[in-house]
Amino acid sequence: MVDDQNTGSKVMALGQRDYEVFRGDPTALPAKMAEIYGAIEPPPDVLRVAKFQQQVIGCYAMHSPQSPDAAGKPVPFELGMVMVLDAYQRNGVGRWLVGHAIGVAESKGGRELRVPLPGPAEFSEGVGLRQVPGGLHYAMDPE
């Protein structure tokens, strides 16, 4: 454990190889994550969790588009939440989770990821999200 910026709060120092991302079970989320996840309407169809030593330390929840819009244009994937437990923040876990969400969306044919949430500018820009009216946006380049 290390002191996060001399604030007195202890934060776990992790490397990217210290944790893994798995399909998530909403009933196995820590209480605060479960509360936020349970409030998302409609319920997300994608839940992934980051685990360190078999403990869930972070997660993301995402909606996959069900069909194109009325004009036939693909509907973007929507990232409904990204959360990392306080003790594991500032280790790249959130950045890794957003990158994983982008990869999942792209592997399912997604071309855009919408995040209808405000985010810290430094974090958002660091993962390639850009501010748009109503939240954040990520455009995936076709190969």
Neighbours of 126 (CB within 10 A): 13
Nearest to 81 by CA among 56, 44, 31, 51: 44
Percent with pLDDT over 70 in the chain: 84
pLDDT digits (tens, 9 = 90+) for 60-98: 999 998 766 667 777 899 999 999 999 999 888 999 999
- Mean pLDDT of the residues in the chain: 84
Q: CA–CA separation, 97 vs 93, rounded Å?
A: 6
φ/ψ bin of 128: left (φ > 0), alpha (ψ from -120 to 50), beta (otherwise): left
Model pTM score: 0.83
Q: CA–CA separation, 141 vs 118, rounded Å?
A: 23
Confidence of residue 7 (pLDDT cuts 50, 70, 90): very low
What is the CA 118 to chain-centroid distance, rounded? 13
Confidence of residue 124 (pLDDT cuts 50, 70, 90): confident
Instruction: Cite the DSSP H helix spans in the chain.
Output: 31-38, 93-107, 121-126
Residue 72 neighbours by CB under 8 Å, 6+ apart? none
Q: Kind of pairing, strands 2-3 and 10-11? A: antiparallel
Given a cut of 90, is residue 118 above it in pLDDT?
no
